[in-house]
Amino acid sequence: MNIAVLLAGGTGKRMGGNLPKQFIEVAGRTILEHSIRAFSQHPDIDEIVIVSHADYVELVESIARPYSKVKHVVTGGKERYDSTLSALRLYQQEQTLHPTSDIRVLIHDCVRCLVSQRIISDCIEAMNRYKAVDVAIPCTDTICEVNAEGHIVRIPPRASLRNVQTPQAFHLDTIAEAYRIGLQDPAFVTTDDCGVVHHYLPEVDIYVVEGESTNIKITYPADLVLAEKILKDKK
């Protein structure tokens, strides 16, 4: 089973407004609905689970109602990884009931509502060979590392650097085991699911699928203008 996990629990404070950014309309649909449609339309996605802030579960359910592949709406927690864990625990129970099932999860920030069918396909195909898959594009800017005083201490070669996107895809047992180990670490901090696998299961190779410049994360008002243009150009 290929399960799309849409993380929609953020509050979107940087965007402003009364509602979190996933509920803002772009090109006639909410950002969340655009993401639901992207995964719902893909023939190899079997189910979708949406992780919502507790205050917006009813709104999420109303948006998701027309899409038959959306099987669950669950609540997240304080941190981003709490949202991932909510979905993982749901499907760990499923795997316990059906131990021979091969459950694979594609974890996606729903505010990347322009994700393409090609990216989803490449992630699914890569999971036939790898236990963990990331999506990224080459960095176009030089990246520097600075110290606490604001001084540059390192400028890594740009050719080896990538800007990470989502979805990030995993065999369920792999990402669940990485989190199991990580949560025992008193210093555990993460904003990235592949980072958990990389840190706590270093023996697992993480394959990188080529992303797209249009697979943007909508964060600021200017991103809405760009997303509107891209969506209209697709029609």
- Identify the band that residue 78 occupies on the pLDDT scale cut at 50, 70 and 90: confident
- What share of residues in the chain are helix, strand, coil (percent, to 5)? 35, 25, 40
Instruction: Specify the pLDDT at position 10.
Output: 81
Q: Whole-prediction pTM value?
A: 0.94
Whichever domain contains 13, its CATH number is 3.90.550.10
Instruction: Specify the pLDDT at position 214.
Output: 96
Spatial distance between the Cα atoms of 23 and 43, rounded to a whole number of angstroms: 26
Spatial distance between the Cα atoms of 174 and 194, rounded to a whole number of angstroms: 11
Spatial distance between the Cα atoms of 144 and 146, rounded to a whole number of angstroms: 6
Q: In total, how many domains does the chain have? A: 1
| pLDDT, tens digit (0-9, with 9 covering 90-100), for 20-69 | 999 999 999 999 999 999 999 999 999 999 999 999 999 999 999 999 99
Domain with 124 in it = 2-234
| pLDDT, tens digit (0-9, with 9 covering 90-100), for 194-211 | 999 999 999 999 999 999
Spatial distance between the Cα atoms of 146 and 56, rounded to a whole number of angstroms: 39
Nearest to 48 by CA among 72, 25, 24: 72
